[in-house]
Amino acid sequence: MKKVLIPLVLFFGLVVFLAVGLKRDPREIPSPLVGKPAPAFSLPTLAGDKPFSPADLKGQVWMFNVWATWCVACREEHPLLVAFSKTQSVPIVGLSYKEIQAADQANGPLSDDAKLSLARERSLRFLQRQGDPYKLSVMDLDGSVGINYGVYGVPETYVIDREGIIRYKQVGPVTPELLETKLLPLIRELEKS
């Protein structure tokens, strides 16, 4: 009797392993940056006033959202961010990530100034139409700041605490569930400390 059960137990053990393996998303990569200081940078803003760097927001809890007008999933999460910015006081800083793509330069490479102005024009038009949840947006045209933040799939959202430490990283669109169950409780807790 016992011997008959052994393959059965082994089989169900295997089933459990495979089921867990199937449910896991290989694209969800734990970021090594959580718990580390947000990488410093200084980038021109979308509005064109003085450059922004993360140190400007020291002492505040804030969200850093990587987006682009070409990014379909960003459009998906955009209304949620707009609604969030209307009800919450947490500032969201946008990182306009590689707004100018290879297709934009099919007719020959653009100069840096031309890229910046085209990116600004396009982003502003998008925000005027869809609503602007951002306190400000910074322009990362070549994606080098993105590399420092380990960006590999837009949109991405970071929660950064008063000391400038990254406390959370979300790859892919923010969902209402995530906002309610993870981001807001985390932000409230960080704001208390």
Partner 1 sequence: MKRLCLLLALCVSTVWAGEAQPMAQNPQVEARLVVIAEELRCLVCQNESLASSHAELAEDLRREVRKLIQQGMTDAQIKTYLVERYGDIVLYRQPVKPLTWPLWFGPFALLLLAVWGLLRYLRQRKALVQQRMSETDHAQAESLLKE
Residues 28-57 that bind partner 1 (CB under 8 A): 29-33
Interface pick for partner 1 out of 26, 49, 86, 113 (rule CB under 8 A): 26
Q: What does the block give as tokens for 136?
A: 């400000």
105 forms part of the interface with partner 1 (CB under 8 A): no
Q: How far is the CB of 28 from partner 1 (least distance, A)?
A: 10
Closest to 136 (Cα-Cα) out of 152, 124, 122? 124
Nearer to partner 1, 20 or 102 (CB): 102
Contact between 135 and 87 under an 8 Å Cβ cutoff? The reply is: no
Binding track, positions 60-99, relative to partner 1; x by CB under 8 A: --------------------------------------x-
Closer of 12 and 152 to partner 1 (Cβ): 152
Report in angstroms the alpha-carbon separations of 54 from 15, 26, 154, 165: 47, 30, 20, 10
Asked if 153 interacts with partner 1 (CB under 8 A), we say yes
DSSP 122-149: HHHHHHHHH----SEEEEESSSHHHHHT
Please name the helix (run of DSSP H) or strand (run of DSSP E) that holds residue 177, with its range, or none. Answer: helix 176-178
Residues that bind partner 1 (CB under 8 A): 26-27, 29-33, 98, 101-102, 142-144, 146-150, 152-153
